[in-house]
Structure 1
Amino acid sequence: MSGHEPEPKQFNPKQPVQLDPPKDDPITYEELSKCDERAGTDPSRPTLVAIKGVVFDVTRNPAYGPEGQYRVFAGKDPSRALAQSSLKPEDCRPDWHDLDDKEKTVLNEWYTFFSKRYNIVGKVVGATNT
């Protein structure tokens, strides 16, 4: 083992995930905010998380539900918080362009991680952080 394994494999789920083709439905910030950790109690409403303006359906993962450790991300675009490895509500915002390269790399890794596990259900309307 040289330690130089191809990086993308580290983001692959342990169990293969069958994903739907990505959608680019427009989702407003208002709609996104209604799909927060409480959405799990309403079967008609998915739990959504946006990263860099792309919206992922995380409904089936209880970590984003009312008792979950990542509930702070639900219904938001927490790109900045993900880049900074922060669970602080005030960091759960979409702007990330002013971050350093290391943090931008972390954000891109999170995007890759999500894209291999969760269906892309739309794009945030007017997102400037893509």
Structure 2
Amino acid sequence: MKFYIGSSFANTHQVRELAAFLKEQGFRQTYDWTSNSRAEDAEELRSIGEADFAAVKEADFVVILLPAGKGSHIELGLALGFGKRVYLYAEEDLKDSPAEASTFYFLQQVIHLSGTFEELKKELIKRECITESR
């Protein structure tokens, strides 16, 4: 099973931690955008955008860690458009803060996960192992 994790540069540590955990469980990351520095020109933006696009398309599931940047919201839209399983993680339940949420967070296809980061890891493994065994 292949995964992609979208978030903001501010969450790089969490993205790397979750990716390492999922890889230890036998999953494969389609692209590690955290190895990039911030793009400085249009050519770099295009190159990164193409890599992100291909990675979301290749993934079996996509995890968006909130708070997320503008690119992550585009990745969320791509994942939904490609029919991927989408997990949206926030420490607090998104229903408790609708003013900070996007309308797309509440689409039926988006699976909300909240709680501690350790709980997120366990829940992803549980859900994806069930999916894989079907």
Scaled by the length of structure 1, the TM-score of the pair is 0.34
Structure possessing the higher relative contact order (Cα contacts under 8 Å, 6 or more residues apart): 1
Bigger fraction of residues in strand: 2
Scaled by the length of structure 2, the TM-score of the pair is 0.33
Bigger fraction of residues in helix: 2
